[in-house]
């Protein structure tokens, strides 16, 4: 069952602008959820317009790989019982703790211990690494259409290296935690756009985290697509403006349909 921006579907109105202009304004309005009214650009004169797309940037853990890291257990091990309880309370009230930023303020010995715990959980995740269903097919499709694909993760470079080996295809560029500042800061996405020579408005960020991936994409001025396999995020109507994605899918195979129906897929810009 396809597709897109949850229930009810949301319709996007595109305001096209020149490359490298500030992020375009989007207006979202509710539509009925029939397949025939899937979200498509509309200029207001009845002529549908599609977004232009030249590149996709993926999150890694939970997006290109099946989620296997127990983040709850990891946070608990890093923050301790009390700290974890405070984190849960903050999350429930819409706040939350960015654990990597949080650790940076700790004294070096505590910081070192925390990084070791995180690395242990990440190693366990790598041992059980599985490629997300639909990921290879999507990437082959992107290659066939000459659409660039990059990767941004808050995991470490060694994890990206192992992922590349097992995936058998490379994402270029692939930015890991060593690139600062990391998601949700838009810097890594803007960096990739700059390397590609493609405006953020012609790129889509795909990930399974509202707080990291969607916010990063929105701040950069890119299209955003939330992968929500289990429906844990509920309806986009409950999201804040900062976290509301342009699209929501429950599998990577739906991304392929989304690209086909919602975008003009553009070849790489000419280089001289």
Stretch that binds Mg ion, among 86-94, 112-120, 176-184, 205-213 (CB under 5 A): 205-213
DSSP 8-state secondary structure symbol assigned to residue 232: T
Q: How far is Cα of residue 157 from the mean position of the Cα atoms in its chain?
A: 18
Query: Tokens 């553009």 — which residue?
Result: 266
C-alpha to C-alpha distance for 65 and 130, rounded to whole angstroms: 6
* Comparison of 31 and 119: residue with beta carbon closer to Mg ion: 119
Q: Applying CB under 5 A, which of residues 152, 205, 208, 245 lies at the interface with Mg ion?
A: 208
Size of residue set near Mg ion by CB under 5 A: 5
- Is residue 33 within 8 Å of 6, Cβ to Cβ? no
Instruction: Give the separation between CA 153 and CA 188, rounded to whole angstroms.
Output: 9
Tokens for 230?
Answer: 């289990």
Strand partners, 151: 58, 174
Site string for Mg ion, 94-133 (x = CB under 5 A): ----------------------------------------
- Contact map string, positions 78 to 97, toward Mg ion, x by CB under 5 A: --------------------
Least distance between Mg ion and beta carbon 167 (Å): 15
**Separation CA 245–CA 39 (nearest Å):** 13
Residue 45: active-site member: no
CB of 55 to Mg ion, least distance (A): 19
59 flagged as catalytic: yes
Distance CA 168, CA 106 (A): 38
Instruction: Identify residues 51-80 at the interface with Mg ion (CB under 5 A).
Output: 59, 61-62
Q: Which is nearer to Mg ion, 54 or 154 (CB)?
A: 154
Residues that bind Mg ion (CB under 5 A): 59, 61-62, 208-209
Enumerate the active-site residues: 59, 61
């Amino acid at each position: 069952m396809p597709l897109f921006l949850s229930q009810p579907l949301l319709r996007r109105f595109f305001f096209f602008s020149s490359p490298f202009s500030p992020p375009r304004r989007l207006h979202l309005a509710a539509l009925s959820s029939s397949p025939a009214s899937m979200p498509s650009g509309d200029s207001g004169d009845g002529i549908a317009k599609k977004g232009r797309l030249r590149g996709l940037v993926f999150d890694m853990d939970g997006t290109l790989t099946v989620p296997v890291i127990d983040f709850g257990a990891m946070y608990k091990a890093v923050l301790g019982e009390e700290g974890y309880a405070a984190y849960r309370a903050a999350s429930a009230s819409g706040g939350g703790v960015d654990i990597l930023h949080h650790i940076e303020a700790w004294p070096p010995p505590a910081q070192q211990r925390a990084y070791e715990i995180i690395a242990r959980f990440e190693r366990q995740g790598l041992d059980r690494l599985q490629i997300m269903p639909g990921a290879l097919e999507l990437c082959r499709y992107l290659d066939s259409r000459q659409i660039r694909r990059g990767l941004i993760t808050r995991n470490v470079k060694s994890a990206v290296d192992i992922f590349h080996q097992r995936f058998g295809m490379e994402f270029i560029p692939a930015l890991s935690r060593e690139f600062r500042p990391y998601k949700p800061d838009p810097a890594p996405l803007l960096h990739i756009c700059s390397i590609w020579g493609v405006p953020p408005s012609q790129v889509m960020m795909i990930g399974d985290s509202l707080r990291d991936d969607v916010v990063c994409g929105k701040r950069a001025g890119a299209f955003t697509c939330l992968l929500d396999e289990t429906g844990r995020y509920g309806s986009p109507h409950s999201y804040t403006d900062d976290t509301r994605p342009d699209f929501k899918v429950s599998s990577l195979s739906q991304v392929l349909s989304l690209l086909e129906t919602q975008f003009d897929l553009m070849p790489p810009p000419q280089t001289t």
